[in-house]
Amino acid sequence: MPIGKIATFDEGSINGSIEYSTLLKSTKVSSENRELLYTFYAEKKPVKAYIVIITETRDLTTKWRLWLNNFSLTKEFKPIDIVRVGGSYYNLNIYDVTHLTREGKNEFVVSHSSIEGIWVHIINSVLFYEVPEFKTNYKLRAGIYLIQPSEEIELDGEGKNYVVVRNPNKSILRVVNSTGTVTTIGGSLDSDEIEVKGHLSIIHESSQRSPAFLFLHYSENSITPNISINVNGKIGKDNKAVITLYNDGEVDLDRVLLNAMLNGVTIHFKSFDNIKIGQKINYEFFVPKKGNVHLRIVGVKSGFRKILDKDLEWETA
């Protein structure tokens, strides 16, 4: 019989896009380390915003304090779902923080000061942006579902799936879709995030008794305009990279991010704001030595990202 559950907390359609990010590192907050800071960024003021937290405590009399942008969100520890695992309780909290989330940098703080402490396993932010050119159908599910050894669970989602799982055991948690195994997870106290398209299954291959955990499953199907960035460039004998970026897509872009790597190591980063349809950008930067120069260009529109990779050639003549 299944232990725990993962349930829908929001579902519907929006003329816009959805952006989410997760703090995956399990962190103990106690009298020795009283605060945990989670920072997230909003491309613009969201029309709706959530914070999802999964914690582990030894009892249910825990006290804490949550802050968002220096505003006290709550002093009470009242999980909306609790699952007992061994001698601990795993707890789910979800907060609607629309009125407190602002454009740009947002700081969320978990404050707790007991000797025993609490473990914060994940903090997740979900931001909804209104964008007339986009339409997104979505389903957001969160909870504490224990994936038992030898158990297989199926997650049916149209379009893109975002899943957060945790497997602290010396076992294999296999994530599979129609193309085969997407990834295997195991042996870490921290959680893992997986993004995959279409129907997927999670299989816990283990001879032990300890379960793995499913915390989040977000699915979305978006109709978006074409986001396209044309990139041309070369590196001259003077080690100067000269490139041209051209927005040849169907929509203005909030930002275009340029990351230049030399033999896999970042050597230059640049952000260009408010790039209109048809706009051309000429840009130069210095490359310190010969090697493989790879560009990663990211076009950003209200949290939606389109990635382009390109290698630059060295001028020989």
Q: Which of 204, 223, 242 is the last residue of a domain?
A: 223
pLDDT at 1: 57
Contact 278, 248 (CB under 8 A): yes
Whether 63 and 205 share a structural domain: yes
Q: What is the pLDDT, as a whole number, of residue 194? A: 92
Q: Are residues 145 and 233 in the same domain?
A: no
Residue 24 buriedness (CB in 10 A; 0-12 / 13-18 / 19+) = middle
What does pTM read for this prediction? 0.83
Angle, CA of 191, 5 and 14, to the nearest 5°: 80
| Cα four-point dihedral sign 142, 144, 149, 151 | negative
Among 196, 197, 198, 191, smallest CA distance to 215 is for: 191
Cα distances from 70 to residues 47, 100, 109, 111, 126, in angstroms, run 20, 10, 9, 12, 19
Instruction: Kindly give the confidence (pLDDT) of every residue in the chain, 317 residues in length, as a single tens digit, with 9 standing for 90 and above.
Output: 578 999 999 999 999 999 999 999 999 999 999 999 999 999 889 999 999 999 999 988 889 999 999 999 998 899 999 999 989 999 999 999 999 999 999 999 999 999 999 999 999 999 999 988 889 999 999 999 999 999 999 998 778 899 999 999 999 999 988 787 788 999 999 999 999 888 889 999 988 889 999 999 999 998 888 889 999 999 998 999 999 999 999 889 989 999 999 998 999 999 999 999 999 999 999 999 999 999 999 998 877 888 899 999 998 76
pLDDT at 226: 86
Please report, in angstroms and rounded to a whole number, the separation of the first and last CA atoms in the chain. 71
- Same domain for 46 and 119, yes or no, is yes
Residues 6+ apart with CB under 8 A from 97: 49, 50, 51, 68, 73
265 Cβ partners below 8 Å, 6+ apart?
none
Residues 95 and 155 in one domain: yes
Domain count, the chain: 2
Query: Among 203, 223, 243, which residue terminates a domain?
Result: 223
**173 & 51 share domain:** yes
**Do residues 216 and 242 share a domain?**
no
Question: Same domain for 50 and 139?
Answer: yes
Looking at the structure, tell me whether residues 15 and 132 fall in a common domain. yes
User: What was the pLDDT predicted at 138?
Assistant: 95
Domain check: are 145 and 252 in the same one? no
CB contact burial 158-185 (16+ within 10 A = b; e otherwise)? eebbbbbbbbbbebbbbbbbeeeebeeb
pLDDT of residue 305: 83
Query: Is residue 205 a contact partner of residue 226, using CB atoms and an 8 Å limit?
Result: no
Q: Which candidate, 40, 33, 208, places its Cα nearest to that of 115?
A: 33
Picking from 190, 223, 256, the residue at the C-terminal end of a domain is 223
- Region for 223 from its dihedrals, namely left if φ exceeds 0, alpha if ψ lies in -120 to 50, beta otherwise: beta
pLDDT of residue 317: 63
Alpha carbons within 13 A on the beta-carbon side of 154: 5
Q: For residue 263, what is the domain's CATH number?
A: 2.60.40.2950
Q: Domain span at residue 240?
A: 229-314
Residue 54 shares a structural domain with residue 193: yes
Spatial strand order of the sheet with 265-275 comes to 265-275, 253-262, 293-301, 304-312
pLDDT at 257: 94
> Rounded CA gap, 169 and 187, in Å?
5
Please report, for residues 9, 19, 103, the alpha-carbon distance to residue 79 in angstroms, rounded to integers and kept in the order given.
14, 24, 28
Whether residue 199 sits in one domain with residue 60: yes
Distance CA 112, CA 102 (A): 25
**Residue 152, both tokens:** 């297989």
| CATH number of the domain within which 175 lies | 2.60.120.1200
> Do residues 217 and 251 share a domain?
no
